[in-house]
Structure 1
Amino acid sequence: MSSALLLGATLAAGLMAGLFAGFAYAVMPGLAGTGDATFVEAMNQINVTIVNPLFLLVFLGGPVLGLVALILERRRAVAVGFALSVVMLLVTMAANVPLNDALAAGKVTRSGFEGPWDAWNVVRAVASTGSLVAFSWALLARGSQTFRHR
């Protein structure tokens, strides 16, 4: 049971790391070449579309699975993976989402949005990648312990 939870947390961390890294190295650089109106329209559409059941399941479910795995496993790598998944969640909720909301409400211009949003996105990409590495390490360690005991 704990292996399945840890695997789920690992997969969720990987999906989030891929999403945020993809924004950092492809989406935002691609949008950087657009005009202001196109940039704002595209970001607003992305921010509406991304709030869907699959995204929310992975975004919120990953840290929950990580917490349950930590409770069952009580291992340092799982604790690090969980902590970094919480950092990703908190950065998103405290920095990126308020910037998204301000952009949608017209309370911030592109020039006040793009730089800070990009910087915080990199923070959450690094955090979710670190979470992926830590959870993967925990899975590998668990597998090698199982192999040695057979």
Structure 2
Amino acid sequence: MNKTPDNESLSRVICRNRRARHEYDLLQQLECGIVLQGSEVKSIRANKVSIEEAYVRVKDGEVWLYNCDIAEYPQATTMNHEPRRPRKLLMHRREVQKFAAAAAERGLTMIPLDVHLSRGLVKVTVAVARGRKLHDKREKLKQKAAQTEMLQAKRRPPR
């Protein structure tokens, strides 16, 4: 008999926005779908996507992802897509209203954290975030260094 796979094996991270956690304090996160063309899905499955410069905006009650770079799929010659076109994100109406109200607050923005496959569908994790100042980043790095030093001290046997 076939064993049904668990949820972790059905999900795979394609692309991460690594700078987001360093440059922003994440307040709320939400997984949402994305409207794509066929060649875009093929490129994403081939790991040809970048969200480093991407951002999210609410326009006319819809959520849009801008500056997400999905490379053209070489085998889709005539029906290829535009690499940096705006892409619509799929959320429930209440979630859109909640995120739009949070992002409208001064100093907050919406950013994509990662692109992943979930049960064969492409999903984007979006967060409402507040930008960090330079001293906040330094303080966070110091805390992280102190934390790793404590863990290493615990692991070392006493002399």
Higher relative contact order (CA 8 A, sep 6+): 1
Same fold (TM over 0.5): no
Which TM-score applies when normalising by structure 1? 0.24
Which TM-score applies when normalising by structure 2? 0.23
Normalized per residue, the structure richer in helix is 1
Larger Rg: 2
